């Protein structure tokens, strides 16, 4: 199958050009070679290779300019940078512009380069397949939308003639609701953009409370984005490994706070799959609990331990988050909390048809247990978040 792929190698070192070309051809690839940027661009535009190995420093056009022109010509062709040790800043810039990988000369083990080429080609193929899938999905949605609009117009006309068409209208409205759910699921692709925008807004806000609110919202969006990241990485696209999710989420909190090396974190290594419908609210609750512990359970430079684990018994899931910190304030009510984080926990637990309990002793830590029935498929129970659960508390009269 490799002989179906063509590699364009652009490098002014003739010995490297010949050795890499010979090695890749022995590995089953077809190769094209060019010793300068202009001839390399001409070959690229004429032959349309599947992947490019590009030197950054050559006579005439420099590698970064060549890479830019190639990207403007064919945006999805993988480019692997092979360059000298003295141009590491150019390598960094090339990676920022979308290079698939980089190697520093001399390349002592060409099998590593071959592996990188194979991996880049596989990634490009998956990316193309994803694009085709998204296009088909958009076409299907467009077709269904048009069909629904036509059906709705006919139903409106029929309603004017007969009252008996009311049941048919209800069926049409149900189809619209299903379509809207499909559209809402596509919003997940913008979660990372929203998270970045909240970060930028926080950086440009001088008021501490507003900045903290932006950062907390950014972390909530990031936790939902992490759920979808785990979903895309999983073999089963209907389930998320919450064990791996918890470890990565806690790692994010540790890296972005000043608790690295101070707070010891224990999270089960066991895989724990949940359907996407339950993983999102469960991930949000886990984010609120672990973030609250990192920020409030160990004031000052106090050290301590946080533990997170999940268990399953009789088709019910239990999520436990506990610490040995200072505990919740005595005046704090877990049943009628005023903080947004704890209100979210109660609202999301309700949506999961579960229950939540808190145990806290001053100076001896806090333990939160959330229990809910486990769904067996992605279609069982809705994962759509109820916006009313996020409304702020009514302001008290002045």
Say how far apart CA 325 and CA 68 lie, in whole Å: 53
Q: What is the pLDDT of residue 237?
A: 56
Mean predicted lDDT score pLDDT of the chain: 79
How far is residue 236's CA from residue 106's CA, in Å, rounded to a whole number? 41
Taking each helix axis from N to C end, the angle separating 340-351 and 276-292, rounded to the nearest 10 degrees, works out to: 160
Q: Is 11 helix (H, G, I), strand (E, B) or coil?
A: coil
Mean pLDDT of 345-367: 89
Q: What is the pLDDT of residue 397?
A: 34
Nearest 5°: the CA angle 32, 37, 42 is: 60
**Span 113-126, pLDDT tens digits:** 889 888 988 888 88
Q: What is the pLDDT of residue 176?
A: 54
Query: How high is the pLDDT of residue 396?
Result: 37
At 145-181, the pLDDT tens digits run 888 888 888 888 888 888 765 666 667 755 654 443 4
Average pLDDT over residues 281-300: 84
Instruction: Give the rounded distance of the alpha carbon of 137 from its chain centre.
Output: 20
Rg of the chain (C-alpha set): 28
Whether residue 323 is predicted with pLDDT greater than 80 in this model: the reply is: yes
Q: Express each pLDDT in 222-245 by its tens digit.
A: 777 776 666 556 666 567 788 877
| Geometric angle at alpha carbon 362, from 361 and 366, rounded to 5° | 50
DSSP state of 353: T
- Nearest to 275, CA basis, from 164, 137, 381: 381
| Poorest-pLDDT segment among 32-41, 46-55, 89-98, 108-117 | 89-98
Helix (H) / strand (E) element for 8: namely strand 6-10
Measured distance CA(285)–CA(267) in Å, rounded: 16
Q: What CA–CA distance (Å, rounded) separates 195 from 228?
A: 14
In what order do the strands lie in the sheet containing 316-323?
263-267, 304-313, 316-323, 365-373, 355-361
Contact (CB, 8 A) for 203 and 259: no
Buried-exposed string 221-240: b where 16+ CB fall within 10 A, e elsewhere: bbbbbbbbbbbeeeeeeebb
Q: Distance between CA 17 and CA 7 in Å, rounded?
A: 12
Is the backbone of residue 148 left (phi > 0), alpha (psi -120 to 50) or beta?
Answer: alpha
What whole-number distance in Å separates Cα of residue 84 and Cα of residue 102?
10
Contact 144, 178 (CB under 8 A): no
Write the DSSP assignment of 131-186 as a string of letters: HHHHHHHHHHHHHHHHHHHHHHHHHHHHHHH-GGGHHHHHHHHHHHHHHHHHHHHG
Q: Which of 325, 321, 309 is nearest to 361 (CA)?
A: 325
The CA-based dihedral angle spanning residues 342, 345, 346, 348, taken in that order and rounded to the nearest 10 degrees: 150
- The percentage of the chain sitting over the pLDDT mark of 90, rounded to a whole number, equals 9
């Amino acid at each position: 199958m490799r002989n179906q792929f063509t590699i364009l190698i652009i490098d002014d070192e003739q010995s490297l050009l010949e050795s890499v070309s010979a090695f890749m051809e022995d590995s089953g690839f077809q190769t094209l070679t060019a010793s300068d940027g202009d001839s390399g661009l001409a070959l690229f535009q004429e032959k349309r290779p599947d992947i490019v190995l590009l030197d950054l420093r050559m006579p005439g056009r420099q590698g970064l300019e060549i890479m830019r022109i190639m990207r403007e010509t064919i945006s999805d062709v993988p480019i692997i940078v092979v360059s000298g040790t003295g141009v590491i800043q150019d390598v960094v810039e090339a990676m920022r512009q979308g290079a698939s990988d980089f190697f520093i000369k001399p390349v002592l083990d060409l099998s590593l380069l071959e592996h990188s080429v194979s991996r880049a080609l596989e990634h490009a193929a998956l990316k193309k397949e994803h694009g085709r899938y998204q296009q088909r999905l958009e076409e299907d949605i467009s077709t269904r939308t048009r069909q629904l609009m036509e059906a709705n117009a006919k139903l409106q006309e029929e309603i004017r003639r007969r009252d008996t068409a009311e049941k048919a209208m209800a069926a049409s409205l149900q189809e619209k609701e299903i379509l809207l759910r499909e559209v809402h699921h596509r919003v997940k692709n913008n979660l990372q953009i929203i998270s970045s925008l909240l970060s930028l807004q926080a950086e440009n806000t001088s008021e501490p409370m507003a900045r903290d609110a932006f950062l907390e919202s950014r972390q909530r969006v990031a936790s939902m984005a992490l759920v979808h990241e785990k979903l895309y990485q999983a073999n089963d696209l209907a389930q998320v490994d919450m064990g791996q999710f918890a470890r990565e989420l806690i790692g994010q909190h540790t890296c972005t706070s000043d608790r690295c090396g101070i707070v010891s974190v224990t999270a089960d290594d066991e895989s724990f799959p949940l359907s996407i419908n339950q993983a999102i609210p469960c991930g949000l609750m886990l984010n609120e609990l672990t973030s609250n512990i990192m920020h409030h359970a160990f004031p000052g430079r106090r050290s301590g331990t946080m533990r997170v684990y999940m268990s399953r018994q009789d088709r019910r899931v239990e999520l436990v988050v506990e610490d040995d910190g200072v505990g919740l304030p005595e005046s704090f009510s877990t049943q009628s909390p005023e903080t947004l984080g704890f209100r979210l926990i109660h609202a999301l637990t309700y949506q999961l048809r579960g229950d939540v309990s808190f145990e806290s002793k001053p100076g001896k830590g806090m333990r939160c247990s959330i229990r809910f029935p486990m769904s067996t498929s992605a279609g069982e129970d809705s994962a759509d978040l109820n916006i009313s659960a996020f409304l702020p508390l009514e302001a008290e009269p002045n």
